Amino acid sequence: MCTHNVTKRLVKEAKINSLPVELKYWPIRRYMDIYKKSLDDIEEFWEQEARKLEWFRTWDKILEWDPPFAKWFPGGLINASYLCVDRHLKTWRRNKVAIYWEGENSEERTLSYSQLHREVNRLAVALRKLGVKDGDRIALYLPMIPELPVAMLASARIGAIHTVIFSGFSSMALADRINDTEAKVLITADGGYRRGKAIKLKEIADLALENAPSVEKVIVVKRRGQEVKMKEDRDIWYHELVKNIQGSIDPMPIESTHPLYILYTSGTTGKPKGIVHSTGGYLVFINSMYQWVFDIREDSVYWCTADVGWVTGHSSIVYAPLMHGASIVVYEGAPDYPKPDRWWEIIEKYKVTIFYTSPTAIRMFMKYGEEWPKKHDLSSLTILGSVGEPINPEAWLWYFKHIGGERCPIVDTWWQTETGGVMISPAPGIGLVPLKPGSATFPLPGIDAEVVDDNGKPTPPGVRGYLVIKKPWPAMLMTLYKDPERYKQTYWSRFPGVYYTGDYCIKDEDGYFWLLGRADEVLKVAGHRMGTMELESAAISHPAVAEAAVIGKPHEIKGESIVIFAILKQDHVPSEGLHEELREHMRKTIGPIAMPDEIYFVSKLPKTRSGKIMRRVLKAVVSDAPIGDVTTLEDEASVEEVKQVYEEFKKIIGHT
């Protein structure tokens, strides 16, 4: 393993040395005391956390651990819909706002907890009348509208298993997921909006259903009011289905180990993996975890900008905040449409207190400049969050200064679809430790995380290794749907007996964790292995660069050469001089081996709608290979620009 030079530099520059000694070390010691006690007896620890929820029946056993399969709180009976909705009706929260919904075209809807209870009940009763039983699968292919969390909670209420399918997926991707789950019902919409354009979801769904015979009924939400084809005896308008529903249906007591949902990962290769999450263990974990990480309070207005189609949306928009009785913001639309201050406008409008977004979005706003957030009153904010990928220190500091007003702690969270909830993060709800820009700090209580080398041995401080989790935790995936062997092979074979995350990480001398991105996103240049995150962080540390994506390109001598696609800040323009300056900056920051062979300046990068850079698309462009599936692409024009810039810039500078 090689020492991570960029991280060493960032650790050295972290702005915590001005703290008084007693304040610098006491919070860490206090947190580590809590953390160590949680690992002494994980079953006792998680049992105490489980008792913070309301159960219809307590468990027979805390954990059945048959490595690598875990069953948490078997015998316990619980219901997610009850915890997120019904229990609040016994309190003053019944009239509290549960959901503030904002459409891309500034439409508004507000649902109180009592109104949410009514909507969830109406759909749950309707699903029962359609023949949906506990254990049946329901596919949800919806834009970011209130009916999406309503459908999730209605499914959970009657013991059905939902699978949310990102509304940016193609008909083929939709059909694949429906077929794998053998979903009985599909809930979709006539359409949606994205950057002012109509997304024809019903048309896409109809194409998918030509090859998805398991679906018996299609429920269609009238979102846009556009004309769509409705198939007789199969398709039903949502509003017509629920309008005459009378009464309610009690939440079904669900066995703790019963699946709550299946969520498919969307890797670049291979069949998507159906991640299965339990009911009881998952709910226990995210309930505690969100209190620790976000310090949710009665007056919290919580906004996670993710799409519900991803796990961040499941845990961070629907289940955890609603269990805590928070008011949540749900936004349908792009972050910078119609203007770059759209998000800051929403924060000011709803007095958002907790804001949770991705480093990719932050870097995009850095490109637009700080004058846009300055137009709005962001003083309601108390905590900022980061999720989706490691955040580089420059973006961290910009976020802290220009969005948080240098008063809001940033919780830099690491987790995965598979983990169900945040695993490594600052925890203001327990006690805030000194923050280091770019570090996710420490594992949360009950999470036995370690960084190991190729032989599974802990790495020394400052040396890169693989992040692993050594003990089971309640929100861990139960298995891969219909594929337990792949589950064992993917997550448990690399280091027997421990969960392999697939991410690179280092721990510094203070024990802080620094996430470095996926272990498979590694370039091998002249025998040297370097992660894309390390290289991108170095590029972004240049004062002219707002965002960067690094890929490898086959090279006859070096094996791979480094190629950078960079977005410049608004007050900088592409030039040959800046090209050479950035090359030299990479050499000085990491070393001569990191000097890129090619640099391309672009105005946008190909990203998914969840904000992740599609590096494989960039790699295909520079390798003259097929682009492949781009159904999750946010903006198709980004690919065309990359192609054009690649060809034009090569003519200007040649290959250096």
Q: What is the DSSP string of 284-317?
A: HHHHHHHHHHH---TT-EEEE-S-TTSHHHIIII
DSSP string, 388-435: SSPPPHHHHHHIIIIITTTTS-EEE-B--TTT-S--B---TTT-PPPP
Greater pLDDT, 20 or 132: 132
Query: Which pLDDT does position 610 carry in this prediction?
Result: 65
Q: Which of 323-332, 412-421, 597-606 has the lowest mean pLDDT?
A: 597-606
**Residues 5-40+419-517, CATH architecture:** Roll (2.30)
Query: Which pLDDT does position 25 carry in this prediction?
Result: 56
Question: If you ran DSSP here, which 8-state letter would residue 457 be given?
Answer: P
Fold of 521-653: GMP Synthetase; Chain A, domain 3 (3.30.300)
Mean pLDDT of the region 156-164: 98
Query: Which pLDDT does position 622 carry in this prediction?
Result: 84
The answer on pLDDT for 265 being more than 50 is yes
Q: Which residues contact 41 (CB under 8 A, 6 or more apart)?
A: none
Q: How confident is the model at residue 629 (pLDDT cuts 50, 70, 90)?
A: low
Query: Which pLDDT does position 191 carry in this prediction?
Result: 93
The answer on pLDDT for 10 being more than 90 is no
Task: Tell me what percent of the residues of the chain surpass a pLDDT of 70.
Answer: 92
* 487 and 480 Cβ atoms separated by less than 8 Å: yes
The answer on pLDDT for 221 being more than 50 is yes
Mean pLDDT of the region 488-511: 94
Mean pLDDT of the region 579-591: 86
Q: Which of 60-69, 132-141, 545-554, 642-651 has the lowest mean pLDDT?
A: 642-651
Q: How confident is the model at residue 6 (pLDDT cuts 50, 70, 90)?
A: very low
For residue 344, the tally of other CB atoms under 10 A from its CB is 22
Q: Which of 1-15, 137-151, 154-168, 316-330 has the lowest mean pLDDT?
A: 1-15
Phi, psi of 513 (to 5 degrees): -95, 135
The answer on pLDDT for 38 being more than 90 is yes
Phi, psi of 490 (to 5 degrees): -70, -40
Mean pLDDT of the region 132-151: 97
Query: Which pLDDT does position 625 carry in this prediction?
Result: 78
- C-alpha dist (Å) from residue 642 to 110, 547, 599, 615, 649: 41, 14, 12, 12, 10
Query: Which pLDDT does position 145 carry in this prediction?
Result: 97
Task: Tell me what percent of the residues of the chain surpass a pLDDT of 90.
Answer: 68
Q: Is 206 left (phi over 0), alpha (psi -120 to 50) or beta?
A: alpha
Reference 27, options 416, 373, 430, 310; nearest CA is 430
The answer on pLDDT for 196 being more than 90 is no
Query: Which regions of the chain carry the CATH code 3.40.50.12780?
Result: 44-334
pTM: 0.85
Query: Which pLDDT does position 233 carry in this prediction?
Result: 95
Alpha carbons 553 and 392: distance in angstroms, whole number: 24
Mean pLDDT of the region 202-225: 96
The answer on pLDDT for 652 being more than 70 is no
Reference 129, options 231, 230, 209, 244; nearest CA is 244
Query: Which pLDDT does position 523 carry in this prediction?
Result: 80
The answer on pLDDT for 43 being more than 90 is yes
Fold of 44-334: Rossmann fold (3.40.50)
Query: Which regions of the chain carry the CATH code 2.30.38.10?
Result: 5-40+419-517
The answer on pLDDT for 534 being more than 80 is no
Alpha carbons 266 and 305: distance in angstroms, whole number: 19
Q: How confident is the model at residue 638 (pLDDT cuts 50, 70, 90)?
A: confident
Query: Which regions of the chain carry the CATH code 3.30.300.30?
Result: 521-653
Greater pLDDT, 535 or 400: 400
Q: Which of 211-220, 351-360, 458-467, 515-524 has the lowest mean pLDDT?
A: 515-524
The answer on pLDDT for 330 being more than 60 is yes
* 326 and 302 Cβ atoms separated by less than 8 Å: yes
Mean pLDDT of the region 436-440: 92
Q: Which of 324-338, 364-378, 517-531, 605-619 has the lowest mean pLDDT?
A: 517-531
Average pLDDT score, the chain: 89
Query: Which pLDDT does position 8 carry in this prediction?
Result: 45
Greater pLDDT, 179 or 557: 179
Mean pLDDT of the region 417-422: 96
Mean pLDDT of the region 299-315: 94
Maximum average pLDDT range among 225-229, 285-289, 611-615: 285-289
The answer on pLDDT for 440 being more than 90 is yes
Mean pLDDT of the region 245-273: 85
Exposure string for 417-427, b = 16+ CB within 10 A, e = fewer? bbbbbbbbbbb
Q: How confident is the model at residue 3 (pLDDT cuts 50, 70, 90)?
A: very low
The answer on pLDDT for 137 being more than 50 is yes
Query: Which pLDDT does position 11 carry in this prediction?
Result: 41
The answer on pLDDT for 121 being more than 60 is yes
Q: Pairing relation of β-strands 185-189 and 137-141? A: parallel
Query: Which pLDDT does position 20 carry in this prediction?
Result: 45
Question: If you ran DSSP here, which 8-state letter would residue 144 be given?
Answer: S
- C-alpha dist (Å) from residue 24 to 330, 384, 431: 38, 21, 13
Greater pLDDT, 303 or 534: 303
Mean pLDDT of the region 55-66: 98
